[in-house]
Amino acid sequence: MKKGHCAFKLTRRSNGRAGAGAPVSLVVGRTSAGHWATAEGTAKGVFVLPMLAGPHEDPGGYRENCRGAKQAARHRILRPAMAGALCLLAPVLVDCALAAKGDKKLDTSLREAVHSVPVVAAGASIVVTSFRPRGNGPFPWIVLSHGTRPTPEANRALGRYRPLYPVREWVRRGYAVFVPVRRGYGASGGEKFADSYGSCRHPDFRRAGEGAALDLLATVEWAKAQRDVDSKRWLLVGQSAGGFASIYTASKRPAGLVTVLAFSPGRGAGHAKQRRGEPCASDRMAELFASIAPQIAVPVLWFYAENDELLGPRVQKLWFESFRSAGGRGELVVAPPFPEARGHGVFPSSSGIPIWTAAVSKFFDSQGLALPF
C-alpha cells in the first residue's frame, strides 16, 4: 500500500449502506477537486464517500483518514452509485459519472451524466446531474436548483431533478447545466433536509439559506474543475425554494458569478393552513432579503406569475422591494396569469418557455450582461 492511501473492509446491506451484508473494500484517494475521499468498489456497485479532511491537506496522517472513513461509513454517509462500475483508480481517486441503480435513462442528446459531489463542510455528498451542449467548450453554465414539495415524503421521493423543458432550452442556447439535489432530498438522501427552516410558527430562513448555500457552493467548486466550462461566466438559476437558495448563495459572492435568475423565489409556501398567495412569516423573509441584499454584487431577476397561488402579488412586491431598498440590484417581472401549477410553474413548463426566455433576454440586455442568449 502506498503512503497516503488505505484500504479496509466494511459490510453493507443490499440498499448500499454500511451494515450487515456482503463485504466491501474502500480506498482513500484524492478527487479532482483536491479533496480526500473514499470509494467503495464491488461487483455490484460503487459508492463515493467524502472525507472530512480539507482540500490539499498532506495525507501524512493517513491512518487518521482511514479511521475517519470507517466512522463516516458506519454513520451511513455512503451513497449508492452506478451498478456494475468500478472507480478505484489508485493511486488517485477520480470523480466518476454515476447513474443510480433504477434511475431514469440518461438522455444522450443532452450528454446527460450523473455525479457524486462532496460537500466537505457537511461531511456528506450530493447527486449532481450534468447536461452539456455538443462541442468542447468552454461553455457558459448554470447551477439549476429545485424547489420543495409539501411533505417530507414527497421531497425524499424526488429522485434526480430533471426539468427537461428548461434544460433543453439552456443547452440549445449553448449552456452547460449542473443540477444538484440538496441534502435530504431524493437521490442525495440523508437524515435531515439541509435547507430546512423549521416550523411556520418559528421559521429560521437564514438557517435554510446557509444549508442550501453549502450544497450549491460545493456544486460550483466541483463544476469549476470541469475542463469544458468557463469559470468566469456562470449563473445561479432556481425555481421556488431553489430561487431563494440561489439568491442567498449569491450573498457569498462566489467568484465568476454573473447574475441570478430566480423563478417564483421564496420559502414558507405550501403549508397546511396557507391562505391563497400568502406564505408563512413573509415579513421575516422580507427582513432576510433586506439583510443579504448589500452582500449580493450581481443583478437578480425576480420572476413571478400574477396568479401564483403560493406566492401572491403582495409578497412578490414586498420581497423585491425589501431587497431593492436595501441596495440589491435587479428587476421584478410579473408575467400574466399562467394556467399551470397554480401559477407557480412557468419555468418548468413547456408552455412557459417563450415567457421566461423573453424575460431573461430583456433582463440580459437591460443589465448589460455579456452572455449569449
Q: Which stretch of 49-58, 99-108, 120-129 has the lowest confidence by average pLDDT?
A: 49-58
Q: How confident is the model at residue 68 (pLDDT cuts 50, 70, 90)?
A: very low
Q: Are 144 and 167 in contact (CB under 8 A)?
A: yes
For residues 8-20, give the mean pLDDT: 39
pLDDT per residue as tens digits for the range 176-231: 999 999 999 999 999 899 999 998 889 999 999 999 999 999 999 999 999 999 99
Cell readout for 269 is 409556501
Cβ atoms within 10 Å, residue 56: 10
Cβ atoms within 10 Å, residue 35: 23
pLDDT per residue as tens digits for the range 263-277: 999 999 876 567 889
Alpha helices in 62-176 (DSSP H): 62-74, 152-156, 164-172
Q: Which stretch of 11-20, 237-246, 267-276 has the lowest confidence by average pLDDT?
A: 11-20
Q: How confident is the model at residue 13 (pLDDT cuts 50, 70, 90)?
A: very low
Q: Is the pLDDT of residue 17 over 90?
A: no
**Residue 91 preceded by cis peptide, ω within 30:** yes
Note the pLDDT of residue 225.
96
Give phi and psi for 304, each to the nearest 5: -135, 165
Q: Which of 247, 347, 354, 266 is nearest to 312 (CA)?
A: 266
Torsion, Cα of 275, 281, 285, 286 (10° steps): 80
Note the pLDDT of residue 32.
36
Write down the pTM of the prediction. 0.75
Cell readout for 342 is 397554480
Give the angle 212-97-211 at the CA atoms, nearest 5°: 10
Paired with 237 in beta bridges are 144, 261
Cell readout for 253 is 459572492
Q: How confident is the model at residue 247 (pLDDT cuts 50, 70, 90)?
A: very high
Cell readout for 250 is 449569491
Which amino acid makes up residue 122? A
Q: Give the separation between CA 136 and CA 86, rounded to whole angstroms.
A: 26
Q: Is the pLDDT of residue 140 over 70?
A: yes
Note the pLDDT of residue 122.
93
**Pairing assessment for the beta strands 79-80 and 113-119 based on DSSP bridges:** unpaired
Coil, strand or helix: which one is 107? coil
- The label of the residue with cell 437564514 reads 206
Cell readout for 361 is 433576454
| 146 CB burial (10 A radius; 0-12, 13-18, 19+) | buried
